[in-house]
Amino acid sequence: MGFLKKILFIVFPVVFMFEGCLPSIIKVPVLKDDKTIEMFGQSPNRDFYLPETIGDSLKEKWQAKVNGGLTNSSVTVYSSYVFVNDLSGWITCLDLKSGNELGRLKNKGAVYSSPVVDNHLLIFAVALNDAEHSQLYIYDYLNGDTKLKIDIEGKVLSEILKAGDKIIFNSEEGGVYCYSLNGDKLWETATSVPIHCSPAMGNGIIFFGNDKGEAVAINSKDGKIIYKKKIGHLFLGCAAISDSLAFLGSYDGSIYAVNLSDGKLKWKFDTGTRIISTPVYNDKYIYVCNLSGQIFSLRKDDGKETWRTDAGGVINATPLLTNNFLLVPDLKGELLFLNAATGKIEKRLGFPNHVKLSPLIFENTLFTGYDDGRVEAYEIIK
C-alpha cells in the first residue's frame, strides 16, 4: 500500500504538469453557415422553444470531458463546432459529430456564461480570480488569435446578449455595457444597484431585474434608462421576452409578467420557492421551475395555472420546450421529459451527477451536461 501511495504521489503531479503545458488555442476552418445557436437562449429575447415534435428515444453519440465544473448555461453551436464554458476559465471546442476536442482557450478566472459565436468570432467574459473586474475577449478561431481583450469593471456573471453587431451584458456591480463586434464601446450605463439577472431584449429594449427587485428597461441604441420599477424581490437567472410581455423569476418564488414598454405589472404568480431558471414559453403558455423541484404551466396572458408537477428534485437550470415535451434538467441527476400539455413525466434520463447545462437540440442532436465537467450528445430517434 505504501508503494502504491508513492506511485500515485508521483503520477498525479506529472499529469497536472502535462495539462498545464497544453496549448491555449482554438484554430479550425470556418465555413459560412446559417445553422447556429449563437447565444444562451438562441435569440436576444431568450427563446427556449423549439417548434418541433420530438421522440423520447435517445441513442448516445458521444461523451466529452471539459476541464472544470459546468454552470447553468448551455453549449453554443456554429456549423460543426460545439463550444462549452466552464468554471476553470476554459472555453472548449468540440466536434459536433464525434465530441473530439478541437481546441481550448485557457484563462485565469471563471467563465460563467455561454460563449457567444458570430461566424469566426467567439465572444466571452472571464471573471478574474484576483480582482473585482473581468475581461471581455473577442477571439478569432479561424486564425487562432485574440483580436481584443477589454478590461471590465466588476464581475461578469450573467449571460451575454448578442443583437446584430452588438454585444450587451451586465456586471455584478450594476453596470450595463454595449460593445460592437469590433470591440468599440458604444455605451455604458451605471444603474447603481447590483445585478445578478441576465438581460433579454425585444423591441429595442434591454430588460432585466436587479437585486432590489426592480424591473429595469434600457434603450439599446443609447443606453438610457427607460424605467426602473420596484415589482418584487431579488432577481436571479435570466429575463425572457415574448412580444410585448417580459418575464422575471424572483428569489421570493414568484414569476412576474410586466408590460415591456412601461414596466407595468400585468400579473404575478407565486410558486412558493425561489426561482433561478429562465421562464420558457410558446405562443399560449409559460413554464416555470423552482428550487423545490416544482414545475408549473401558466397561461401567458393572465398567469392562470393549467398544471403543476412535483419532480422531487432541485431545478435551477433552464428547460427546453418542444411541441410535445418540456425537457427539464434536475440537480438530482436526471433530465426529465414532461408532457407539455399535461405535465406528466413521460421519461427520466439518468446521469451520475447533477445535471447543470440547459438542454439544447441542434440538427436532431440533444446536448446536455452534468457535474464533473461532462458533456453528452444524443441522437433523437424519431
User: In sequence order, what are the beta bridge partners of 299?
Assistant: 285
- Residue-by-residue DSSP string for 245-281: EEEEEBTTSEEEEEETTT--EEEEEE-SS---SPPEE
Encode 285-299: b = buried (16+ Cβ within 10 Å), e = exposed.
Answer: bbbbbbbbbbbbbbe
Look at residue 206 and tell me whether its pLDDT is greater than 80: yes
What pLDDT is recorded for position 15? 35
Region 280-292: mean pLDDT is 97
Estimate to the nearest angstrom the gap between the alpha carbon of 3 and the chain centroid: 46
User: In sequence order, what are the beta bridge partners of 188?
Assistant: 177
**Which pLDDT band, with edges at 50, 70 and 90, does 3 fall under?**
very low
What pLDDT is recorded for position 135? 96
For 148-171, the pLDDT digits (tens) are 999 999 999 999 999 999 999 999
C-alpha cell at 341: 400539455
CA atoms of 38 and 117, how far apart (whole Å): 5
- CB of 366 closer than 8 Å to CB of 358: no
**Which pLDDT band, with edges at 50, 70 and 90, does 20 fall under?**
low
C-alpha cell at 33: 453557415
- CB of 286 closer than 8 Å to CB of 249: no
What pLDDT is recorded for position 382? 78
Q: Work out the mean pLDDT of the chain and round it to a whole number.
A: 93
Estimate to the nearest angstrom the gap between the alpha carbon of 301 and the chain centroid: 26
- Please give the C-alpha separations between residue 108 and each of 83, 85, 140, in angstroms, as whole numbers: 18, 13, 19
**What order of strands is seen across the sheet that includes strand 76-78?**
36-37, 76-78, 81-85, 91-95, 101-105
For the chain, the domains span: 36-50+69-304
Q: What is the pTM of this model?
A: 0.92
- CB of 126 closer than 8 Å to CB of 111: yes
pLDDT above 70 covers what percent of the chain?
94
3-state secondary structure of 234: coil
Give CATH superfamily name and number for 36-50+69-304.
Answer: YVTN repeat-like/Quinoprotein amine dehydrogenase (2.130.10.10)
The strand pair at 81-85 and 76-78 is best described as: antiparallel
- CB of 354 closer than 8 Å to CB of 332: yes
3-state secondary structure of 298: strand
3-state secondary structure of 42: coil
For 177-200, the pLDDT digits (tens) are 999 999 999 999 999 999 999 999
Helix (H) or strand (E) holding 15: helix 2-20
CA atoms of 353 and 66, how far apart (whole Å): 15
What pLDDT is recorded for position 34? 78
Under DSSP, the state recorded for 264 is: -
CA atoms of 2 and 152, how far apart (whole Å): 50
Under DSSP, the state recorded for 352 is: S
Look at residue 139 and tell me whether its pLDDT is greater than 60: yes
CA atoms of 233 and 223, how far apart (whole Å): 24
3-state secondary structure of 19: helix
For 236-268, the pLDDT digits (tens) are 999 999 999 999 999 999 999 999 999 999 999
